[in-house]
């Protein structure tokens, strides 16, 4: 009787684990996800490669759970597909500790954030917040044409100063990170 109860408990635990696995795969878009954000992230070049290949680059700092990032994904994917020979699109997930140096370097304190680079790999600006397809297209075209960035809310040039030259205005330990939403 005791052995039967152990088998039932193991079978129940195995069924629950299988159901959780199926739910997780389904929530993530399946084994071969058609979700644009995940497809674009998988196709994304490594940042050093993109910055050195002679094409302008748009880096999106994103998270899988970010609704604005998901909403922008189809337009980002379309731009990446139509401009792939003229413009690089790189996605860096803020939840991946591998990208912490980039999060710090580009002062990412919210998502989505786009960091914009010219063909020489020099940061020329950033765009903070969700962007519509026409706004993304305008940013991409400005980078390709080496033209000034369009005047959009939340878009601006980056400072030529390095972070060491900036005055310290807050204790870094008290500043919010892109992952602090609690």
- Beta-ladder partners of 116: 58, 125
Find out whether 87 and 144 touch, Cβ atoms under 8 Å: yes
Q: How many CB atoms lie within 10 A of CB 168?
A: 6
Set 40, 69, 76, 136: catalytic member = 69
Give catalytic status of residue 69 as yes or no.
yes
User: Annotated catalytic residue: which of 66, 75, 94, 139?
Assistant: 66
Size of the chain, expressed as the number of residues it contains: 182
Tokens representing residue 176 in the block: 């919010």
Q: How many CB atoms neighbour CB 49 within 10 A?
A: 12
Residue 66 a catalytic site member: yes
Burial of 65: CB neighbours in 10 Å, binned 0-12, 13-18, 19+: exposed
Here the tokens at position 14 are 């195995």
Closest CA to 114 of 168, 150, 82, 167: 150
Using alpha carbons, select from 113, 116, 141, 121 the residue that is nearest to residue 55.
121
User: Which residues carry out catalysis?
Assistant: 66, 69
């Amino acid at each position: 009787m005791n052995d039967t109860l152990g088998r039932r408990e193991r079978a129940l635990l195995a069924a629950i684990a299988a159901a959780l696995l199926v739910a997780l795969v389904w929530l993530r878009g399946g084994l071969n996800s058609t979700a644009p954000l995940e497809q674009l992230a998988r196709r994304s070049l490594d940042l050093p490669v993109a910055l050195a290949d002679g094409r302008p680059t748009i880096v999106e700092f994103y998270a899988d759970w970010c609704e604005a990032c998901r909403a922008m994904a189809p337009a980002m994917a379309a731009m990446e597909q139509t401009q792939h020979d003229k413009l690089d699109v790189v996605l860096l997930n803020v939840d991946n500790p591998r990208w912490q140096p980039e999060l710090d370097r580009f002062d990412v304190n919210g998502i989505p954030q786009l960091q914009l680079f010219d063909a020489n790999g020099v940061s020329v600006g950033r765009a903070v917040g969700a962007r519509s397809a026409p706004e993304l297209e305008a940013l991409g075209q400005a980078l390709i044409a080496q033209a000034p960035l369009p005047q959009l809310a939340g878009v601006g040039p980056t400072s030529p100063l390095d972070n060491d030259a900036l005055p310290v205005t807050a204790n870094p330990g008290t500043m919010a990170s892109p992952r602090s939403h609690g």
